[in-house]
Chains A and B, each alone.
Chain A
């Protein structure tokens, strides 16, 4: 009974989150954002099937998302053209099957090796497909892409999927099913042997498995889920263009997954939510938002290789063992310097951006009117950054010491 509750509550929580999201944040923009988040969660999780679980670093994963989306959108147009009785609900599956097909095809080529060779082939295949979109204009629609109208497909139970809320419903259901399916996959013997292929392919061969076949299966399944995400994107945006399968999109999914954390199952979900939120909201706040994005990625790679999820889990463990009293003072000592340094960096970027793009016209920052062509704000920003960075550097050992103690305590508990 206890086990059943322990197993069920995260899923009940997830379902509740999907149900409550459009109720709590119900504005049209929020609804669009929630739909995109659902799509990106599937996409990022599918990417982590490769990176986190099988140890394959791909630079061309958007190919399967994009091709899934293109096939889905052509399928939708065909349905509209021939007036077939096919509802929108089937389309994500069409995208998924397209992703699966291309995944098997390209997987046969690229999963023969792991490591850097795999990465480079994925990069090459990604460039190959995205450059051929300028040649095969019939399929990819050239510069402007292919458009469709989801409301013209056959209704299902009276739902026409015209309004955004209905699309969100579809995305939410698909997303929930995909999360469940991908989580279940990690619990199967196949999921475990994928982890073994990531950690030690040689031993996998010794116990009688073909590492290459495992990689191919993982790759094809991951392409299937990426294709489902692409199919949902086709329904949501009603347009597909070559950018959706290019290097930029492949980079975004890598960023999302890594920022969220590749070591845990929930990491990519968090990453997809955070990055989508930032993509949509940060771009309203500042024109330099992509710069912050890149800096954030570098910070995660350098200081938190486990991503946001890794950080959360560590703190959760520490909190459960009651070690907060050790960490809190150390954090309190570091926080002022760290915050000052961050504010300094943000000010420098914003001042520079203003100076360079708008010829240094006056601006407001943190609610204060500032003249970027005068010296004072620059000096403040530099000062904040320099002092903050120095203080952080000086005091950081306290945090490291506190963590060392906490880890020791956790280890001792683990042994007991």
Chain B
């Protein structure tokens, strides 16, 4: 029991941190432009595929560095040549643009790398057992992922709170006109933040690719959960996104580890009409738990856990 508890917590925190790498960029972009970027998870997927392609030619570490930069450049280009032009048409157009873009990226990835998962492997230098706890081993690669995510979190925090650039970004979030008056190029700030958010997503993809499966559906699988995270945390709230990332990460990992069902609790004979529901285990419920949480939170508290705005 203690073993399950320890490893589920570790894995949950790891998954949560991974979610936060994506949610942070998405939240920043949302607070700045008021646009929920459907293509954000596509950048994550591109990160994984770029990482795979570079690993195949140059090795894992060059990919670890180059893939996020390349994805960031693509993200900046999307903002500069796509979203910025659409700004005058309103938020719905911008949102639908990113929706279409996500669709196109998925099709392109499928065309270039095929529908089947690609063989993106953990690098040999990280392919060993980090530690052993109650007879269960924990791979070093997961520790490396966790360390990367924490480092990124710290870097983001320092940049936003302790540097001049961070101050300008924070000011541009709430008072873009004033910041422009003071002589800063606000559209350029938007482009850089969009690019940086995409790069973070790319980094998340590049390190998650070997641990999870690198396939064309990885964006569509993670996308809805990511939206759950930023909505549950409160749209536009970085702290909320952090809490919600960890919450969703832990909820999902713990649910998967549990085997209880109504049948196990109350005996195998189901009341009439409840046949399927009776046999469902908590582990089977894991995929739908985030959405249940989303619906419940939005009914009880439409601003999310820490948000201040509704739309």
Contacts and interface: CB of A to CB of B under 8 A. Distances in A.
Nearest to A139: B276
B103 interface: yes
Nearest to B95: A57
A409 B96 CA distance: 33
Contact of A290 (B103, B291, B310): B103
B302 A113 contact: yes
A298 B299 CA distance: 33
A169 interface: no
B111 A301 contact: no
B227 interface: yes
Given A113-B302, A302-B86, A135 B284 contact: yes
A353 B111 CA distance: 6
Interface in B236-291: 275-277, 280, 284-285, 287-288, 291
Given A112-B299, A356-B111, A301 B97 contact: yes
Contacts of A134: 284, 287
Contacts of B220: 247
Contacts of B224: 123-124, 127, 247
Interface string B69-99: 0000000000000100110010011011101
Contact of A305 (B89, B227, B277): B89
A117 B311 contact: yes
A134 B93 CA distance: 34
Interface residues of B, number: 43
17 contacts: A57-B92, A57-B95, A113-B311, A117-B311, A120-B231, A123-B224, A124-B231, A124-B291, A125-B295, A132-B288, A136-B276, A288-B111, A294-B101, A297-B100, A301-B96, A352-B111, A356-B112
Given A109-B295, A138-B275, A138-B276, A294 B311 contact: no
A164 to B, nearest CB: 31
Given A109-B295, A121-B298, A124-B291, A301 B100 contact: yes
Interface string A279-307: 00000000010110111011001100100
B232 to A, nearest CB: 10
Q: Which 5 A-B pairs have the closest CB atoms?
A: A115-B311, A294-B104, A294-B103, A124-B294, A128-B291
A137 interface: yes
A127 B228 CA distance: 11
